[in-house]
Amino acid sequence: MTKLTNLTIAQARDKMAKGEFTALELTEAHITAMQAKRSLGAYITETAEQAREEAKASDLRRQAGQIGALEGIPLGIKDLFCTKGVQTTAASHILEGFKPPYESTVSGKLKAAGSVMLGKLNLDEFAMGSSNMTSYYGKVVNPWKSKSDPAKLLVPGGSSGGSAAAVAARIAMGATGTDTGGSIRQPAAFCGITGIKPTYGRCSRWGIVAFASSLDQAGPMARDVRDCAIMLGSMAGHDAKDSTSAPLPVPNFEAALTGDIRGLKVGIPKEYRPDGLSDEILRVWEQGIEWLKAAGATPVEISLPHTKYALPTYYIVAPAEASSNLARYDGLRFGQRVEGKTLDDMYKKSRAAGFGSEVRRRIMIGTYVLSAGYYDAYYSKAQKVRRLIAEDFTKAFQDVDVILTPTAPSAAFGMDENTDDPVTMWLNDVFTIPTSLAGLPGLSLPAGLNADGLPLGLQLIGRPFDEETVFKVAGVMESAANFTALPEGV
């Protein structure tokens, strides 16, 4: 029999329906695996006891004929989602010990669908990073090893690095992620799993610790396209508590996986070939185009002329919003406090002690670009360029149905690489940030291995609220790619 931890969500769902095993057995297998792989640092908080109780309750519901879409499926929740009564840190010291008195809409919907929470997953502090090295609670290790240097510790990507590592290492069947500039897609690519950032507004942001509110979006990370479609179906939907949540019905995403993409036009943006892009990435991209052609789709070269300005635009808009959102950490209402002589002194000392260096840097940039005298030159300018970037996509989607690009410019890198200069680290998100600025759905799936045996991802971008086409094309690519490689120890 296949190990329970190696099943996909869809397989486990169907087997539990046939009575082959219980939710409690499935959960126990994952708790054992989670505890055996603590060296990955994927979880900040494990909730094994609670998971067992939830699994027992799920088995009782099943006996009573109440079967949710994710009934009895053990999931990990990124530690950016508030979970009632369970510590929620955003991987920051400043929120250490914070136990939300409420549940985020998305994690609540997953619970309502019958899922079981295994614990809270590690991330970059306040979701700011592409390596999961800025967490106060320790780095996350990518379960994949490079062939040429197996001893080298690789990053899982970020910010949803704990989520990606957990799904890849089979210590969660699926996980929630959030994506502000690539935080679901880049770690999914680095860890050889599938993840989708849905259209901005598809999932409620209520109860998710805010980073950049005009960009943040929750999404699923799982072993394959179908599992992402199943999870997103339970996570999405209008929520009156988030004013930017879209009042649209949730389609049956799983039903979109028809396998038929004949006649679809696939945009290939010519600007996504920056100087120095590795041959390995180009080759896997070319391979992806060939797969789609073979399935009856037509590749079309498109132009997204403002692509090179997406990164500088993002690094004004996102820090500006972050500096406003993170003003709430004042040592007063929740989180860590360092006493001071005056109120201002208490604020400054609490925030100095509570924030790590990347978060501090971004708050300061954001504060500067919003400050009197610089607002127009930086913030307002970036908002205008953002519109041009979004319009590039609107124009392109007049001619094509979906866009195919690489997810990241490289495979997972070593923990000691890319750390000297913040701007170099940010280049990881060069292919994912434009989609975020335009609010479009973007999915990353594993497409192959590089020479070192590490996964490489491809990204599919869709029209607003057309995740169905993205899933449909992704399903076809997944079958063609037949990505069966596994990380060490799985």
Smallest distance from other proteins to CB 351, Å: 5
Report in angstroms the alpha-carbon separations of 314 from 210, 269, 303, 418, 437: 16, 20, 20, 19, 7
Closer residue to other proteins, CB minimum distance, 388 or 485 = 388
Closer residue to other proteins, CB minimum distance, 93 or 351 = 351
Contact 143, 394 (CB under 8 A): no
Site string for other proteins, 295-324 (x = CB under 8 A): -----------x--x-xxx-xx------x-
Tokens (6 digits) for 19: 């009575």
Smallest distance from other proteins to CB 311, Å: 8
Contact between 360 and other proteins per CB under 8 A: yes
Contact between 30 and other proteins per CB under 8 A: no
Q: Catalytic site residue 78? A: yes
Residue (of 26, 87, 69, 70) closest to 51 by Cα position? 26
Identify each DSSP E strand in 308-439 by its residue range: 402-406
Residues between 145 and 204 that touch other proteins (CB under 8 A): 200-201
The catalytic position among 58, 92, 131, 159 is 159
Beta bridge pairs of residue 404: 460
Q: Catalytic site residue 18? A: no
From 64, 65, 344, 484, residue interacting with other proteins (rule: CB under 8 A): 344
Smallest distance from other proteins to CB 354, Å: 9
The catalytic position among 37, 78, 120, 197 is 78
CA angle, 121 as apex, 146 and 327 as ends, to 5°? 115
Contact between 361 and other proteins per CB under 8 A: yes
Smallest distance from other proteins to CB 162, Å: 23
Q: Which long-range contacts does 409-412 make (Cβ < 8 Å, 24+ apart)?
A: 409/274, 409/277, 409/278, 409/281, 410/278, 410/281, 411/190, 411/280, 411/450, 411/452, 411/454, 411/455, 411/456, 412/142, 412/144, 412/154, 412/155, 412/156, 412/157, 412/190, 412/191, 412/454, 412/455
Site string for other proteins, 386-415 (x = CB under 8 A): xxx-x-------------------------
Contact 69, 57 (CB under 8 A): no
> Which sequence positions are flagged as catalytic?
78, 159, 183
Binding site for other proteins (CB under 8 A): 97-101, 200-201, 214, 240, 243-244, 246-247, 306, 309, 311-313, 315-316, 323, 327, 330-337, 339-349, 351-352, 355, 360-361, 363-365, 367-368, 371, 378, 380-388, 390, 421-423, 437-439, 464
